[in-house]
Amino acid sequence: GNSVTQMEGPVTLSEEAFLTINCTYTATGYPSLFWYVQYPGEGLQLLLKATKADDKGSNKGFEATYRKETTSFHLEKGSVQVSDSAVYFCALSEGSNYKLTFGKGTLLTVNP
Amino acid sequence: SAVISQKPSRDICQRGTSLTIQCQVDSQVTMMFWYRQQPGQSLTLIATANQGSEATYESGFVIDKFPISRPNLTFSTLTVSNMSPEDSSIYLCSVTAGGNEQFFGPGTRLTVL
Please state the rounded mean pLDDT for residues A8-21: 95
User: What whole-number distance in Å separates Cα of residue B1 and Cα of residue B99?
Assistant: 10
Confidence of residue B4 (pLDDT cuts 50, 70, 90): very high
Average pLDDT, chain B: 93
Residue A95 in contact with residue A55, Cβ under 8 Å?
no
Q: Given this model, what pLDDT does residue B2 score?
A: 81
pLDDT at A94: 85
Can you give the pLDDT at residue A105? 94
b/e code B21-52 from CB counts within 10 Å (16+ = b): bbbebeeebebbbbbbbeeeebbebbbbbebe
The predicted pLDDT at position A109 comes to 97
For residue B101, is pLDDT > 90? no
* The total number of residues written for chain B in this structure: 113
End-to-end CA distance of chain B: 36
Q: How many CB pairs under 8 A join A and B?
A: 47
Please state the rounded mean pLDDT for residues B53-77: 94
Interface of A with B in 11-40 (CB under 8 A): 32, 34, 36
Helices assigned H by DSSP within A1-112: none
pLDDT interval class at B90 (50, 70, 90): very high
Identify whether the C-beta of residue A101 lies closer than 8 Å to the C-beta of residue A32.
no
Is A46 at the interface with chain B, CB within 8 A? yes
Task: Give the pLDDT band (50/70/90) at residue A90.
Answer: very high
How far is A32 from chain B, CA to nearest CA, in Å?
A: 8
Distance of alpha carbon A77 from alpha carbon B36, whole angstroms: 29
Confidence bin at A78 (pLDDT 50/70/90): very high
C-alpha distance from A42 to closest chain B C-alpha (Å): 6
Show residues of chain B in contact with A45, CB under 8 Å.
104
Taking only the tens place, the pLDDT of each residue in A15-68 is: 999 999 999 999 988 899 999 999 988 889 999 999 999 999 999 999 999 999
Contact B42 A51 (CB under 8 A): no
CB–CB contact B43 A104 (8 Å):
no
